[in-house]
Structure 1
């Protein structure tokens, strides 16, 4: 999609849909001139959104629907066209589902949404002499920061995925060691990894069990022994036989350790116990 010479949306009372649409266009094309008017001028050759019945309007008789049946509003239509170039296909889809669709739903149904309500609060009250356009641009500045935060979060997920996939390629005995903490669950859940180790912000290292994907009971592929649950050093060191273990969460999903070697030893012990239980179950012992 080429940069338009001019963009236009409706004047008067504004909503999250047109405000976020403006913020998105300015994120893609900084400095783009966006005007507000009650009607699209005859012969207009720019990009009209949320008005005028064109490609980025959703008020006509033929509703534009997503595959899940959710109708598009202007923001969703623009995101469908522009989102992938900002954050890639996977995160563009995720943001549509978790960020944009709730706003589109609110604009199409009036069902209510807290973020849409916050944007709507920038409108002049009924007996105010405030300039509606000035209020619109204050709302756009707010929306632009929200959008930037969402985009940066999505890009961070992409960076994390690259880091975790690189560590996954070096996995040993179903344990992945990350060089630094990064969001790892989405990448490792669908892999063969059972445990993950990473440097802790508190110093030392943390080790966690990897969740089983799409498990309604939220179980782990491997958890730490029940005899460790809730223990702290030095008792945890005595029970586990591993020096340098500091803490095991009461639910057994996480341990903290002073060193990488201690964290890896905890993972080996967890896997050994899990394998022993599996063998016992198979033999009926």
Structure 2
């Protein structure tokens, strides 16, 4: 089973990790970093080679060797017929996805200061925090890397062509894959004449790439563990109280301060079967006297289309002029796109929500 992979490793020394040499990519760079986040692999040496005999000496091999055999710690995805995906997701895995699928729970548990077996209950959920974060980190970080390495487009290319859509600009250099790729040697860089020295120089570049993408991965895990997850209880409390502010439950209010709410709101709506929230009200900062914001709920997390935008007549106006248009005192602004606005007080922003609903 994937979740028992870390427990399966028993060795008296630091297990040797193997991956391929030559041009490196984001997937094996991250796979190596993720392994080294675990105590068992913390001091593991790394060999970068395509020599089968050398790879046989490695305890764990990623992205080379033509084998996917977790019982032998072999995690390649290039072999013919490989179709493995993360549970519940459609994207074929890269070496990073394979390592995360088998070691991700242990990595997250260790990052949270837990043993692998500890599963604190996520607020309002059936599964533990580790399981919740395991799925979330895969979907929001690892999956895009898997797709990139396997040449899978975000959108169906045939559908894009059929729709006659063309990219407005190139975004190829604006990815973690591109960041890692730029750390490879250039074709015209000087290469040491000694093969061992040349390999050592290439390996130094790989380790820089592994540390760079690993830093982004650790930041992602920390965000979801220390910021996103604690917000769940705050959003649930506001969701449970939504009919206090509107009989139909269309207004969500955060009393103390705003938290990352979109993911949690959509999951709570899915659990309850009620997707009626249109506006979220929150203070700009904690403490008395703070100004308040009204934000429209998007149709989906990444959408720029609101379920119900603020009235068109309000958009692009500010302060006293906006007071006159809305008939509400204390208005600060309404964005020209109509997805957000502000008022000097909760009473004022609540009045804006009521009028917008009407």
Post-superposition offset of 1:83: 2.9
Counterpart of 1:83 in structure 2 is 104
Unaligned segments of structure 2, at least 5 residues? 109-128, 154-171, 193-197, 270-274
Q: 1:253 to 1:88 in 2, by over 3 A?
A: same
Distance 1:137 1:248 in 2: 48
2:17–2:59 contact (8 Å) kept in structure 1: yes
Alpha-carbon distance between aligned partners in 2 of 1:125 and 1:246, rounded to the nearest angstrom: 53
Q: Extract unaligned runs of 5+ from structure 1.
A: 274-285
Q: Are 1:185 and 2:262 counterparts?
A: yes
Q: Secondary structure at the match of 1:147?
A: helix
* Match 1:206 to one of 293, 312, 315: 293
8 Å CA contact 1:22–1:34 kept in 2: the answer is no
User: Equivalent of 2:28, from 18, 38, 57?
Assistant: 18
Q: Indicate yes or no: 2:6 matched with 1:2.
A: yes
Judged with a 3 Å threshold, the aligned counterparts in structure 2 of structure 1 residues 31 and 182 are, in CA distance, closer, same or farther, namely same
Q: 1:161 is matched with which residue?
A: 232
Question: Cα gap change, 1:223/1:10 in structure 2, threshold over 3 Å: closer, same or farther?
Answer: closer
Cα distance 1:235–1:11, how it changes in 2: closer, same or farther (>3 A)?
closer
Distance in 2 between the 1:165 and 1:69 partners? 29
Number of residue equivalences = 271
Alpha-carbon distance in 2 for matches of 1:233, 1:40: 74
Of stretches 206-215 and 38-47 in structure 1, the one that deviates more from structure 2 is 38-47
1:60 correspondence with 2:79: yes
- Alignment pair present for 1:33 and 2:44: yes
Q: 1:56-112, CA deviations, whole angstroms, 9 ceiling, x for partnerless residues?
A: 122333303326653222111111123345274455445434533343344345998
Deviations 1:10-37 (A, max 9, x none): 2522322211101111223372414215
Q: Which residue of 2 aligns with 1:118?
A: 179
Give me the TM-score of the superposition, normalised by structure 2: 0.64
Give the structure 1 partner of residue 215 of structure 2: 145
Structure 1 pair 81–166 and aligned structure 2 pair: CA distance change class (3 A):
farther
Conservation of the 8 A alpha-carbon contact between 1:9 and 1:18: no
User: What is the SS of the residue equivalent to 1:252?
Assistant: coil
- What TM-score results when the alignment is normalised by the length of structure 1? 0.79
SS of 1:234's partner is helix
Query: 2:140, 2:309 → 1: CA distance?
Result: 30
Q: Please name the residue that 1:49 is paired with.
A: 62
